[in-house]
Amino acid sequence: MDSILQGLTALYAECQNRGAATMGALLTIMIEGAKYMDTLWTVERREYSSLRDRVKDLEAATTASASASADAIAPIPNEPSDADLTTASADLGSNGGLAGQFASSLLVPNAANSTGIGAAGTLTFLNQATGDRQLVRSHTLSFNVSGTITSGSAYAPVKMGSVSFGPRYFTRVPKVNLESLNSDASGALIFVVPSTSGYDVWNGGGTIATAKSYQYAVTVTPN
């Protein structure tokens, strides 16, 4: 921009020396216009630089604020509802005066030859000692296998029976875990399919034999 002004100024001086008044006037206008444009460009450049710096400052402040907020906000745990905790604490019909197995209408064995625990098979609760309580969250099952049965496999599991939580329902499907309590139970690959109202027990492999008792400790945990 300075070189343009210098050139126009030199031309203006030359025109004045030659008496070209009209041309000199035009050049005066051009020079003043060039000076105005130069001044305007300088101001705009300064404004742009100032705005750019301001944007950078705002971006840095926003990033810092977001980071601080993320650190301050702890994840909210997925706690079970009060209703599900109450359901988990419910009694399934304990018989505290009895040590051993006892039947319950909440337990439905799949007592069918070749497809379950046998035609005479039973599914019962088990009190390992008198005073035991059978709760939704913690109870003990016993399968007594009888009849002609199959062991099942991972590709063709055998349904052993179903357990109901009675009139109680979870709002979300709970976690159900089975733990073997005797050597017979350890020989079968038992798994469960839970729902909000109970769970089904399946054998996915291993040996299922007649005249055997398969005992499991069951833990039900609300989600």
The residue out of 21, 43, 72 marking a domain boundary is: 72
Query: What pLDDT shows up at residue 85?
Result: 95
Residues 136 and 197 in one domain: yes
Whether 77 is covered by a domain: the verdict is: no
The mean pLDDT value of the chain amounts to: 83
Residues 90 and 134 in one domain: yes
The residue out of 21, 48, 72 marking a domain boundary is: 72
Whether 95 is covered by a domain: the verdict is: yes
Residues 61 and 139 in one domain: no
Query: What pLDDT shows up at residue 115?
Result: 79
Residues 29 and 139 in one domain: no
Number of domains observed in the structure of the chain: 2
Structural domain range at position 123 = 83-221
Query: What pLDDT shows up at residue 170?
Result: 97
Residues 192 and 214 in one domain: yes
3-state secondary structure the chain: CHHHHHHHHHHHHHHHHCCCHHHHHHHHHHHHHHHHHHHHHHHHHHHHHHHHHHHHHHHHHHHHHHHHHHHHCCCCCCCCCHHHHHHHCCECCCCCCCCEEECCCCEEECCCCCCCCCCCCEEEEEECCCCCCCECCEEEEEEEECCCCCCCCCCCCEEEEEEECCCCCCCCCCEEEEEECCHHHHCEEEEEEECCCEEEEEEEEECCCCCEEEEEEEEEECC
Whether 143 is covered by a domain: the verdict is: yes
Residues 62 and 91 in one domain: no
Whether 78 is covered by a domain: the verdict is: no
Q: What is the pLDDT of residues 44-89, one digit of tens each?
A: 777 777 778 888 888 888 887 766 666 655 555 678 999 999 999 9
Q: Low-confidence residues of the chain, pLDDT below 50?
A: none
Residues 95 and 68 in one domain: no
Whether 11 is covered by a domain: the verdict is: yes
Query: What pLDDT shows up at residue 23?
Result: 64
Query: What pLDDT shows up at residue 52?
Result: 81
% of the chain exceeding 70 in pLDDT: 81
Query: What pLDDT shows up at residue 185?
Result: 87
Residues 122 and 178 in one domain: yes
Whether 139 is covered by a domain: the verdict is: yes
Residues 217 and 193 in one domain: yes
Residues 166 and 209 in one domain: yes
Residues 163 and 135 in one domain: yes
pTM given for the model: 0.64
Q: What is the pLDDT of residues 104-116, one digit of tens each?
A: 999 999 988 777 8
CATH code of the domain containing 212:
2.60.220
Query: What pLDDT shows up at residue 211?
Result: 81
Query: What pLDDT shows up at residue 131?
Result: 92
Query: What pLDDT shows up at residue 196?
Result: 96
Whether 153 is covered by a domain: the verdict is: yes
Residues 97 and 132 in one domain: yes
